[in-house]
A and B are shown apart, each in its own frame.
Chain A
Amino acid sequence: MREWLIVGGGIHGTYLANLLLDQPGLPAENIDIIDPHDHLLEAWDRMTANCGMRYLRSPATHHIDLPILSIYQFAKTPAGRSFAGFIPPYNRPALGLFREHSRHVIARSHLDERHIQGRGLALHRDGPAYVVETTAGDLRTRRVLLAIGMSEQPCWPAWAQDLRRQGASVTHVFDPDFKRDAVAPAGATLVVGGGITAVQTALALAAVPEADVTLVARRPLQESQFDFNPCWIGPKCLRRFYQEDYAARRATIDEVRLPGSLPGEVMQEFQAALDPSHLTFRQAAIQKASYDRDTIRLQTDEGPLIARRIVLATGFRQERPGGRFVDRLIQDFDLPCNPCGYPIVGPDLQWGPNIFVTGPLAELQVGPCARNIVGARNAGRMLLAGLEQKR
């Protein structure tokens, strides 16, 4: 029987598999990752490529390897040298370098050999073990780690869902089948959203000479180097967070995270690219939408907007990720949740007996950085400290 089954092969699942495999006395065959994609980090690769990201927003010390300076070291090797690129502040790595480094780590630690392609459906107790019912068959394990991100729940506003039902060309940049290169340049394209993804998507779509792109956001674009203050990574702010009850923690997370913001260099690039014939910005709240003969008409608080197609960059629905699989877990194992729907877990990230969480599912314990790459690293520290205590 395996020791760990990690559900989710994104940044969190891959990093934590790497971390657990590094622990003494745990043979590789004792850890597996179940993920529906063809390869680990596939959803992350797809989403970062689709939005036209060139540099990460996080520093080069946030990655899936264990030594903190691993990306810097990799950038000096023959394999990494041609991808090397960092921008200030905090030495943020080029996307290509981060990806190549991730591939290198996955290959070096044989993490791809631990990947089982499939999707978790249900969990059952069987003596001291769990049996995870999956699309790849039943998998027995002593411990389960839920590393489920938000990638399967892009946020579709109601008006956009209506348009899609009517046959209009409306896509979401985080949809699994979205391909930015397949967005036709002819006719007006509206990119809806006000964060880094929306701005990068608008810039990428406007790079084609005949493009006619308008970025539509409810608020003025907000510049912020990170999507949360770095004090939330360490004890400076987390000390106070841990004194709060779970309702207050939820309020704190919602208050201090800045999802609709963008770093300075992306803001500057966008402002420099603004051009009335190619790329424009409209601050407007969309109220209604209609579709007729290939033309989309939006009614906004700032007047009408007409387009051939819409690309949504409206982030993710904020509800608890994991869908029916996690819903059933809560019901079957009577797992505690805050009124916001998110797990209440201990400092060791244990939600139920030998059921652990990371990523957004752990945010009431890990704090506002839980969804980020550094959240995986912090979750790993908490997980190992908890396991150490039990020994």
Chain B
Amino acid sequence: MDKWECPCGYIYDPMEGDIENNVQAETAFEDLPDDWVCPLCGAEKEYFEKLD
């Protein structure tokens, strides 16, 4: 599963998820809820870029 980077530098790591916002570990970026946003700056998913 790929990691994705927000414009603010936050990296979504699917192995860790986003526990504070009810996203379980091992959740792929593509499977995040539609209303999920960067927990650091608030950017929506469409602003994230896939890390190589």
CB distance from A248 to the nearest CB of B (A): 20
Are B21 and A69 in contact, with the CB atoms below 8 A? yes
Contact check, B42 vs A60: say whether CB atoms are below 8 A apart: yes
Q: Which of A230, A235, A239 contacts B43 (CB 8 A)?
A: A230
Q: Is A374 an interface residue (CB 8 A)?
A: yes
Contact B41 A59 (CB under 8 A): yes
A230 touches B35 (CB 8 A): no
Whole-angstrom distance between the alpha carbons of A233 and B7 in the complex? 9
Docked pose: A341 CA to B8 CA in angstroms: 28
> With a CB–CB cut-off of 8 A, which chain A residues contact B42?
58-62, 68, 90-91
> Which residue of chain A lies nearest to B7 when distances are taken between CB atoms in the complex?
A230
Identify the interface centre among A62, A72, A90, A229: most chain B CB within 10 Å of its CB. Answer: A90
For A59, A229, A231, A233, the residue with the greatest tally of chain B CB atoms inside 10 Å of its CB is A233
Are A61 and B37 interface neighbours, CB within 8 A?
Answer: yes
- Which residues of B sit under 8 angstroms from A230, Cβ to Cβ? 6-8, 41, 43
B2 an interface residue at 8 Å Cβ cutoff? no
User: What 1/0 mask marks residues of chain A from 224 to 235 whose CB sits below 8 Å from any chain B CB?
Assistant: 000001111111
Q: What is the CB-to-nearest-CB distance from B13 to chain A, in angstroms, rounded to a whole number?
A: 14
Q: Does A237 contact B (CB under 8 A)?
A: yes
Q: Which residue of A lies closest to B10 (CB)?
A: A234
When chains A and B are docked, how far (Å) is the Cα of A52 from the Cα of B10? 33
> Is A235 within 8 A of B41, CB to CB?
no
B44 within 8 A of A: yes
Q: Check A231/B44 contact, CB under 8 A, given A59-B37, A61-B37.
A: no
Q: Are B8's CB and A236's CB within 8 A?
A: yes
- Contact A90 B21, CB 8 Å, known A230-B7, A234-B8, A236-B8: no
- Answer whether residue B1 sits at the interface, using C-beta atoms and an 8 A cutoff: no
B contact residues around A236 at 8 Å (CB): 5, 7-9
The answer to whether B6 touches A234 (Cβ under 8 A) is: yes
Asked if A61 and B9 sit within 8 Å, CB to CB, the answer is no
- Cβ of B20 under 8 Å from chain A: yes
Chain A, interface size category, equals 20 to 34
Contact present for B9 and A59 (CB under 8 Å): no
- Given the known inter-chain contacts A72-B35, A231-B8, A234-B6, please indicate yes or no for A89 contacting B44, CB distance below 8 A: yes
B51 at the A/B interface (Cβ < 8 Å)?
Answer: no
B37 lies within 8 A of A91 (CB)? yes
Which of B38, B39, B47 has the most C-beta atoms of chain A within 10 angstroms of its own C-beta?
B38
Q: Flag if B37 contacts A231 (CB, 8 Å).
A: no
B20 to chain A, nearest CB (A): 7
Give A231 to B5 CA distance when docked, in angstroms. 11
User: B40 contacts the other chain (Cβ, under 8 Å)?
Assistant: yes
A233, B21: Cβ atoms under 8 Å?
A: no
Please report which residues of chain B, range 1-52, place their CB below 8 angstroms from some CB of chain A when the two chains form the complex: 5-10, 20-21, 35, 37-44, 47
**Provided the pairs A61-B37, A61-B39, A61-B41 are in contact, do residues A231 and B9 lie with their beta carbons within 8 angstroms?**
yes
Q: Given that A234-B8, A235-B9 are contacting pairs, would A374 and B20 also be in contact in the complex, using a CB cutoff of 8 Å? A: no
Judge whether A374 and B9 touch: CB under 8 Å.
Answer: no
Inter-chain CA distance A67–B18, complex, in Å, is 13
What is the 8 Å Cβ interface bit string for chain A, positions 201-240, against chain B (1 contact, 0 not)? 0000000000000000000000000000111111111110
CB distance from A367 to the nearest CB of B (A): 12
Neighbouring B residues of A89 by C-beta, 8 Å: 43-44, 47
Q: Which residue of B lies closest to A377 (CB)?
A: B40
What 1/0 mask marks residues of chain A from 33 to 45 whose CB sits below 8 Å from any chain B CB? 0000000000000
Contacting residues, chain A, for B35 (C-beta < 8 A): 72
Q: Nearest A residue to B22 by beta-carbon distance?
A: A69
A91 neighbours in B (Cβ, 8 Å): 37, 42, 44
Residues in B whose Cβ lies below 8 Å from that of A72:
35
CA distance A234 to B42 in the complex (A): 11
Interface CB pairs A-B, < 8 A, 14: A59-B43, A61-B38, A61-B42, A62-B42, A67-B20, A68-B21, A72-B35, A90-B37, A90-B41, A231-B7, A232-B8, A234-B6, A238-B9, A374-B41
| Other A-B pairs, 9, CB within 8 Å; known A61-B39, A69-B37, A236-B7 | A60-B42, A61-B41, A68-B39, A72-B35, A91-B44, A230-B6, A230-B7, A236-B5, A236-B9
